[in-house]
Amino acid sequence: MLSIILIGTGNVSAKLAQAFSHSEDVKLLGIYGKKERKGEILSTGHEVEEISDIDESADIIVIAVHDDAISDVQKQFRSSNALVVHTAGSIPMDDLLPIKRRGVFYPLQTLSADREVDFNTIPLCLECAETEDRKMLEQLAGTVSESISWVDSGKRIRLHLAAVFTNNFVNHMIRQAEKICEAHDLPKEMLHPLLDETVAKAKILGAANAQTGPAVRGDRSVIAKHLKLLPDTAQQELYKTISVSIQNEYESQL
């Protein structure tokens, strides 16, 4: 049985609390953070305490707060005997120094308050400074996910960058398509089968093999036609930059 304390009341903390509550091998001693969301998070029935009342006997303290707040929060735990981990993709483990027993527990997923996720499929990227802590961190991860990897800080920040393309930028492309539909009274749901197949193909074939369209074909007449149809220079700029990027990428492979 691992005893843990969660710091933070944002989405990551909420989803972790929920996931841990389903495990018989984890005892959540408490959650600390902004009060207004505690009730919602603690529908699992775990006790909420004041930061001054931290149970020092916890095995692991999980700091699941905004990136900018980690360095401040970690100061509270410098004399702790627990393993102290943060959950951020782009923050090096050593930002927890001088804590000796430090580590990272990074769930590679976009977590929102209003979305149920199957935590079991979320890749958990682990790192720790002390070899003796590996087993315990892996044990904690194993209680909530079947996808566990050891990823050092250098690789993790690259993974976080790749996640920006995969999530933020993919979403922005979908947004542009939605805007075109909205402007012309076309139901955006018409694009959903294409979106599903796009992702399925990229996953199965690899995106390089799945690339199609006017840019990779070098079809300038369709590109020119599309640019004329885009209503503002901002969308035109976006379309142009991405098309040039596609052309350059596949030209150099010829």
Q: Could you say which of 208, 218, 220, 251 contacts its own copies (CB under 8 A)?
A: 208
Interface mask (CB under 8 A) for its own copies, residues 64-83, using x and -?
Answer: ---x----------------
CB of 95 to its own copies, least distance (A): 13
CB of 222 to its own copies, least distance (A): 6
Residues 7-46 close enough to bind its own copies by CB under 8 A:
none
Number of residues that bind its own copies (CB under 8 A): 85
Binding piece for its own copies, criterion CB under 8 A, among 15-23, 42-50, 52-60, 169-177: 169-177
For strands 102-107 and 124-128, give the pairing.
antiparallel
Tell me whether residue 53 or residue 152 sits nearer to its own copies (CB atom): 152
Contact 175, 195 (CB under 8 A): no
234 binds its own copies (CB under 8 A): yes
153 binds its own copies (CB under 8 A): no
92 binds its own copies (CB under 8 A): no
Tell me whether residue 32 or residue 119 sits nearer to its own copies (CB atom): 119
CB of 208 to its own copies, least distance (A): 6
Q: Could you say which of 113, 194, 218, 220 contacts its own copies (CB under 8 A)?
A: 194
166 binds its own copies (CB under 8 A): yes
Interface mask (CB under 8 A) for its own copies, residues 211-230, using x and -?
Answer: xxxxxx-----x--xx--xx
How many alpha carbons lie under 13 Å from residue 195 in its C-beta half-sphere?
12
Tell me whether residue 136 or residue 157 sits nearer to its own copies (CB atom): 157
Q: Could you say which of 94, 130, 196, 251 contacts its own copies (CB under 8 A)?
A: 196
CB of 20 to its own copies, least distance (A): 19
136 binds its own copies (CB under 8 A): no
Q: Would you call 104 helix, strand, or coil by DSSP?
A: strand
CA–CA–CA angle 104, 92, 89 (5° rounding):
65
CA dist 127 and 124 (Å) reads: 10
Tell me whether residue 86 or residue 101 sits nearer to its own copies (CB atom): 86
Tell me whether residue 21 or residue 176 sits nearer to its own copies (CB atom): 176
Helix or strand (DSSP H, E) at 2: strand 2-7
Q: Would you call 86 helix, strand, or coil by DSSP?
A: strand
The amino acid that residue 127 corresponds to is E
Any residues with CB less than 8 A from the CB of 55 and at least 6 apart, and which? 3, 5, 29, 30, 49
User: For 56-206, where are the alpha helices, taking DSSP H only?
Assistant: 70-74, 134-144, 153-163, 170-183, 192-205
For strands 83-86 and 102-107, give the pairing.
parallel
Q: Would you call 128 helix, strand, or coil by DSSP?
A: strand
152: left (phi over 0), alpha (psi -120 to 50) or beta: beta
